[in-house]
Chain A
Amino acid sequence: MSIHIPILIIISPLLAAFLVLFTRKHKIILATVSIIASIVFTLTLSSQVLSGDKIIYHLGGWRGPIGISLVVDGLSFFFSLITLGLGLLVIIYSIPERRYGRTYYFLLLISLSSMIGVIYTADIFNMYVFYELLSLAVYLLIAYPKTGVTLRASFNYLIMGGVGLSFFLLGVGFLYAMTGTLDIFHIAERLPAAFNSSTRMVLMSIVLIVTGMGIKIAVFPLHGWLPDAHSMAPSPVSALLSGVTVKIGIYCLIRVVYTVFSTEIFLLIGSHNILMVLGVVSLLFGASMALAQKDLKRLLAYSTINQLGIVLIGLGIGTELGLTGALFHVLNHAIMKSTLFFCAGIMIAETGTREVQGLNGFSRQQPVITFAFVIASLGMIGIPPINGFASKWLICLAAVEAGYTFLVVIILTASAIAAAYYFRVIQVLFSGPLKQDPMHAHEGGQVIHGGNLFRSWPIYILAAACLLLGLIPTLGISLVKPAVSLLLFHVVP
C-alpha cells in the first residue's frame, strides 16, 4: 500500500468531492476527513523526501516517456504541503457559513485535488489538464455568491486565465514538436540537443510558457484580473486564491524553467533578467496601487501582486540563496496572506462594510483577531520577529551577493510603501469609538457571527505559524533546502 501514496493523496479529495454530492448532512465531515487523510499520506513521505529521495509512481504501470507518472520530490512535496495545509484551514473556516451548500465543498475539493495533481504530475500535458480543471473550479468558486460584481470578476478571470492557459498549451506543443515526449524529465534530457538544432523554437516555447504562467501569477502588465477576483470572492475563497492558487502558477513556472529548460539554457537565453524586471515592476506597481485603495480586501489583493514581485525577484537572481529566499517567501506569503484574508472576512462580517475607514474601533470588539491581523501585516512589511522578514532578508542578501545592489533599494522602498498602507489599516483598527450599532452583516446576505470557534482557530493557528517561522526561520529553510538543491544541482538523478 505504501508505494501507492502519491496517487492516494490526489484521489482522496477527488473521491470525497463526488461523495459530497450524495450527502446533505455529512459534507463537512467528509471534506475535512479527506483532506486530513491527504495530509497524513503526505507526511508519511516526508522523511524520504527531505533526505533527498525522489518518489516516482507510474500510473497504470506505464513507464517512461509514454506513461504518466507522478513525482514527489523536494519541490513538489513543499508545495503540496502548503496547498493541503491551507486547504484544510479554508474548509474549517467555511464551516459556520450556512449558505455554502454541497456544491461549494464539491468545488473546493475538486480544486484542491487538481492542485495536488498539477504539483505531482510529471507529464506536462497532464499538468495543463489539471490546471484547467483547477481554474474551472476556481472560476465557479469566485462566482459562488452570484452577485453582479462576483460574476464580472469571475468572467474577467475566465477570459484572462483562458488566454494564459492557451499560451501554456501552445508552448507545450512546441516542446512536443521538438522532443517527441511529454514527460518533464525526458524533455529535459532531450532538450539540449534540440536547443542546438532549433534555438528559435526553444525560445518560442519558453516565451509562451512564461507568458502563460505570468498571467496566472499576475505579474504587472498581466495582472488585470487579480484585484477583482481576489477581492470580490467570498473570504475563504480569497484566502485560497491568494494563498494557494497563485502559488500553483509559481510552481509551474519553477518546474518548467528550472527542470524542463535546465538552468543552463535559462541563463544562456538571459531570461532570468526578464523575471527580475517583471518582479521589480510588479513589486512597485502592487505597492503603489495598494496605497491608493479604500477597500480592505482590494488592498490585500494588490499587496499580493507586490509580494509575488519579491518572489519573482528571488527566482530571477537564481543563486542558491535567492531560490531559498523565494521559496521561503512563497511559504510565508501563503501563511500571512491567508491570515489577513481570514481576518478581513471577520472584520467585514462584524462591521458590515468593506471600507478601511469603516473599521473604527474593531480592536475593542475583537482584540485577538486584531492582534493576529497586526502580526500578519507586520510580517508583510518585513519587521524582524515575523516570518516575512526572514525571507525578505534572504532575498536581499542574495541580491547583494550576486551584485544587484539596486534590488535591495527597491525591495526596501516597496517595504516602506507597504508599511504606509498596512499602518493605515492598523491605525484605523485601533482608533475611534466602538460603533454604535454594528450592522450585522453582509458578505452577500446572511448573518455571520464572527466570534465563532471555527472562524477564529484557523487565524490563531496561522498567526502562531507566522511567529514560529519568524523566530525559528531554520524550520522553514530546512523544508525548502531539498527543493533548492534539486533545482540547482540536480542531486537526484
Chain B
Amino acid sequence: MTPINISLLVFMIGLYGVTSKNNLIKKIMGLTIMNGSIVLFFISIGFRETGLAPILEKGTTSGISTTILVDPLPQALMLTAIVIGISVTALALALVVKIYAKYKTLDIQQLSKER
C-alpha cells in the first residue's frame, strides 16, 4: 500500500459518507475527509525518502543540491487547499445552523419532504 493508494481509499470513504449518509453534518464530515485525502495525496506526490525539509538554514545557503529536498510546491498548494476546505466547511455549517433553526431537523429525507 503506497500512500497514494491509501489516499485514494480515504477519498472513496469520504465520497461514501457524502453520498449515503442522511445526516447533514455527516455529509459535511464526508466532504472534509475527501479534502483530507487530497492533502495526503499531494503530500505523498512531493515526498522523497530521506529528503530534507525545503528550508535554507543560515549557514548552509549554498552547497545543498535541490535533489535531496522534498518537493515544496505540493506543500504550499495544500496550505491553500486546506484554507479553502475550512472556508467551505464553515459555510456549510453556517447553512446547517440556519436550516436547523428553520426545520428542526438534520435528516435530509425529512427535509426533502418539507415544502
Contact = CB atoms under 8 A, between A and B. Distances in A.
A touching B, CB within 8 angstroms:
yes
Interface of A: 125, 129, 132-133, 136, 139-140, 143, 146, 148-149, 151-152, 154-155, 158-159, 162-163, 166, 169-170, 173, 176-177, 182
Contact of B88 (A136, A151, A173, A182): A136
A370 to B, nearest CB: 29
A146 B94 CA distance: 12
Contacts of B99: 148, 151-152, 155
Contacts of A139: 91, 95
B42 A136 contact: no
B17 to A, nearest CB: 11
A62 to B, nearest CB: 13
B69 interface: no
18 contacts: A125-B80, A132-B84, A136-B87, A148-B103, A148-B114, A155-B92, A155-B95, A158-B88, A158-B92, A158-B95, A159-B28, A159-B92, A169-B38, A169-B81, A170-B38, A170-B41, A173-B38, A173-B41
B91 A140 contact: yes
Contacts of A173: 38, 41-42, 45
B98 A146 contact: yes
A176 B77 CA distance: 11
Contacts of B31: 159, 162-163, 166
A166 B80 CA distance: 13
A140 B80 CA distance: 21
A196 to B, nearest CB: 20
Given A133-B84, A176-B74, 16 more contacts: A129-B84, A136-B87, A136-B91, A148-B99, A148-B114, A151-B95, A158-B95, A159-B31, A159-B92, A162-B18, A163-B18, A166-B11, A169-B81, A173-B45, A176-B42, A177-B45
A166 B81 CA distance: 10
A295 to B, nearest CB: 12
B111 interface: yes
Contacts of A155: 24, 92, 95-96, 99
B34 A163 contact: yes
A403 to B, nearest CB: 38
Contact of A163 (B15, B73, B111, B114): B15
Given A136-B87, A146-B98, A166 B45 contact: no
A129 B82 CA distance: 11
Nearest to B111: A152
B58 interface: no
A163 B33 CA distance: 11
Contacts of A149: 115
Interface string B54-96: 0000000000000000000110010011001001100110011
A266 B59 CA distance: 50
B34 to A, nearest CB: 5
Contact of B27 (A132, A159, A169, A177): A159
Nearest to B45: A177
What are the 8 tightest A-B residue pairs by CB atom distance, in nearest-first order?
Answer: A148-B102, A166-B34, A177-B45, A162-B31, A155-B95, A132-B84, A151-B99, A173-B41
Contacts of A182: 73
Contacts of A158: 88, 91-92, 95
A170 B8 CA distance: 9
A406 B102 CA distance: 49
Contacts of A125: 77, 80
Contacts of A169: 38, 81
Nearest to A155: B95
Nearest to A126: B80
Contacts of B91: 136, 139-140, 158
A133 to B, nearest CB: 8
A162 B17 CA distance: 13
B99 to A, nearest CB: 5
Interface string B1-38: 00010000001001100100000100110010011001
Contacts of B96: 155
A143 B95 CA distance: 8
B11 A170 contact: yes
A108 B101 CA distance: 27
Contact of B102 (A151, A159, A163, A176): A151
B97 to A, nearest CB: 10
Contacts of B34: 162-163, 166
A182 B71 CA distance: 14
Contacts of B88: 132, 136, 158, 162
Nearest to A161: B88
A129 B80 contact: yes
Nearest to B28: A159
B95 A154 contact: yes
A146 B102 CA distance: 10
B60 to A, nearest CB: 23
